[in-house]
Amino acid sequence: MSLCVVGSIAFDAVTSPFGERERMLGGSAVHFSLAASFFTDVRVVGPVGGDFGDDEYRVLHDRGVNTDDIERVSGNTFFWRGRYEYDLNTAHTEDTQLGVFGEFEPKLSDESRAAETLFLANIQPDLQRRVNDQCDGARLVGLDSMNLWIDTARDSLVQTIGGVDLVFMNDAELRMLTEQPNLVRAARKVMDMGPRAVVAKQGEYGAALFTPEGFFGLPAYPLETVVDPTGAGDSFAGGFLGYLATHGGDATAVESVLRQAMTYGSVLASFNVEEFGTERIRRLTREEIDERFEDFRRMTSFEVVPSA
Amino acid sequence: MSLCVVGSIAFDAVTSPFGERERMLGGSAVHFSLAASFFTDVRVVGPVGGDFGDDEYRVLHDRGVNTDDIERVSGNTFFWRGRYEYDLNTAHTEDTQLGVFGEFEPKLSDESRAAETLFLANIQPDLQRRVNDQCDGARLVGLDSMNLWIDTARDSLVQTIGGVDLVFMNDAELRMLTEQPNLVRAARKVMDMGPRAVVAKQGEYGAALFTPEGFFGLPAYPLETVVDPTGAGDSFAGGFLGYLATHGGDATAVESVLRQAMTYGSVLASFNVEEFGTERIRRLTREEIDERFEDFRRMTSFEVVPSA
């Protein structure tokens, strides 16, 4: 079972109420890969610049991520600088330098093309579609996007969504994409575009899964300290698709497996935000993941009331 | 088992994207009473004016609510006019007329004083405390409040909270009260003031229960149409405390019963918002309530992953 992700590989500078980092490994494909690597083989596709060095590769290799399709070109790696206020819900972007990402044209190796599961992380929707077209053997394709593409490339995004199985988006972005303030209706409208299921990421409130069969809601893990939310959504998708790739990971996955995937996604996202960047995930263990999975079961279960 | 509630009894005028009502029965004590009436005997305490007539009493009597402690005085019943925009999350208050509520001094009958469960709905915290002092036999006391009292009567509110067992507040108000942006810490700070448990109401995202033993999170029922959110929080508290009053309703209620109470609260809130004012709850049946309780179990359960 192999899982391929295309997305950004970046250096991030982050300031939060709990400290700051001037330059750390980040990017949607990186956060996704590390999270998914606890469940399955992962190949990451994306461009880096000459400033991307052995230390950065080592973070990925230490988790067994295959970096053969990381394309090293002249120029600088994508850079993002952001700041979080005390409520930690909103990232304030202070600087974005596309660097080598500005000219990125994805070229996938035969091995990546053959991946059974594909994740199109948050990049320009034309690019996402071109990658999806190359991976014609993928049995399950997931996609993330953001308000920027809804604003600037809506038609392309809708077309791209039409070719995937699973959409992961923030609830506000699902509403924005469908121009539908009610989330249940918004999710249905997205399913009408093609996907079999929609995952609404709700930040500190958790996540919701919409399928033709029904609805599943899961709260977020109750953390007393959220240090850096950057990459939480990609870690969620990585845990979700990583688990799904090894447990009947195709477009017809049964509801019960999707719900377990939701929970593993929430587990990985919760660890991701406990420290800056990839710091927590790099020393995470599978045992810790499974313990927190059980925590989620304890936090959400309640008993039937005996009939009177 | 009897349950007493003190709070507002009102006429509401509401405009939402789904229509409008110029004058309908409302108020925190009314929404609470109707919801709780499906589980236990309810007595409502509060003032009304000369404009409060047989039709209004009938709504309460039809659900078996005891109105002996509704005090009818000269003047007009409390009036609130509000408007909801398309996102339905925020009530925009357009008019508030305190009417007879401006001079309200609660006087409880012996029967109300003897109630085993007491709910102090959202009124001025000095008043809440005076009612709590009168009900010295209550084994379980719940409280709701709002940003207005945090702004204008914070010390009194903190003192009142110190004398209750359960606090029901919106998550934003818990953060505001404790000046703590993290909800887990905010809930702990409120428990440090005295209460044994805190319920954070999260609107469309559901609700969270904090106790010394742990955390329980429940999504909201996924509704495609929310017509009128007015009274959702009071219906939640009514379902919660109504159930609790008949199932070990004291301050030492076990966690499993509190979780079932959370679910019944969510069920009642979800029905409340389906139509204007009390319209849906008035023709609700216990069978519908129990069906939706089961829906919640289906929407939130997931299976253990077998060990590899």
Alpha helices in chain B (DSSP H): 28-36, 54-62, 110-113, 125-134, 147-152, 154-161, 171-178, 183-192, 232-246, 255-272, 279-282, 286-300
> Quick check: A305 and B214 CB within 8 A?
no
pLDDT (tens digit per residue) in A195-213: 999 999 999 999 999 999 8
Tokens matching residue B264: 């019944």
Q: Are strands B140-144 and B117-120 parallel, antiparallel or unpaired?
A: parallel
* Geometric angle at alpha carbon A4, from A229 and A275, rounded to 5°: 20
Asked whether the predicted pLDDT for residue B29 surpasses 60, the reply is yes
Q: Which amino acid is at B288?
A: E
Look at residue A37 and give its three-state secondary structure: coil
Q: Which residues pair with A167 in a beta bridge?
A: A143, A198
CB B114 within 8 A of CB B3: no
Asked whether the predicted pLDDT for residue A42 surpasses 80, the reply is yes
> Quick check: B299 and A214 CB within 8 A?
yes
pLDDT at position A306: 65
pLDDT (tens digit per residue) in A58-104: 999 999 999 999 999 999 999 999 999 887 878 899 999 999 988 89
Look at residue A305 and give its three-state secondary structure: coil
Tokens matching residue A128: 């996402």
ipTM over 0.90: yes
pLDDT (tens digit per residue) in A229-243: 999 999 999 999 999
Show the beta-strand stretches assigned E in chain A. Answer: 2-6, 10-16, 19-26, 41-48, 70-72, 78-84, 91-97, 117-120, 140-144, 166-170, 197-201, 207-211, 214-218
Q: Could you tell me which of A157, A156, A150, A193 has the C-alpha nearest to residue A175? A: A150
Tokens matching residue B56: 């209004």
Look at residue A57 and give its three-state secondary structure: helix
> Quick check: A86 and B181 CB within 8 A?
yes
Reported residue count of chain A is 308
> Quick check: B182 and A304 CB within 8 A?
no
Going across the sheet that includes A91-97, the strands are A19-26, A10-16, A78-84, A91-97
Average pLDDT over residues B230-253: 87
pLDDT at position A57: 98
> Quick check: A219 and B222 CB within 8 A?
no
> Quick check: A215 and B299 CB within 8 A?
yes
Residue B307 confidence class, pLDDT cut points 50, 70, 90: low
CA distance between the termini of chain B: 50
Report the phi/psi class of residue B191: left, alpha or beta, with left for phi > 0 and alpha for psi in -120 to 50: alpha
Residues on chain A bordering chain B, Cβ-to-Cβ distance under 8 angstroms: 86-88, 181-185, 202, 204-206, 208, 214-220, 222-226, 256, 259-260, 262-263, 290, 293-294, 297-305
pLDDT (tens digit per residue) in B81-106: 999 988 787 889 999 999 998 889 99
Contacts of residue B263 in chain A, CB cutoff 8 Å? 302
CB B237 within 8 A of CB B168: yes
Rounded CA-CA distance B280/B30 in Å is 13
> Quick check: A204 and B220 CB within 8 A?
no
Rounded CA-CA distance A72/A246 in Å is 30
Mutation site, B213, B263, B305, B307, interface A, largest A CB count within 10 A: B305
Asked whether the predicted pLDDT for residue B254 surpasses 90, the reply is no
pLDDT at position A248: 67
What number of helices (H) and strands (E) belong to chain A? Answer: 12, 13
H or E stretch covering B64:
none
Rounded CA-CA distance A186/B187 in Å is 32
Mutation site, A84, A205, A273, interface B, largest B CB count within 10 A: A205
Q: Which residue of B has its CA nearest to A214?
A: B299
Rounded CA-CA distance A130/A72 in Å is 20
Within 10 A of B176 (CB to CB), how many other CB atoms are there?
18
Average pLDDT, chain B: 94
Asked whether the predicted pLDDT for residue B252 surpasses 60, the reply is no
Tokens matching residue A67: 């970096």
pLDDT above 90 as % of chain A: 89
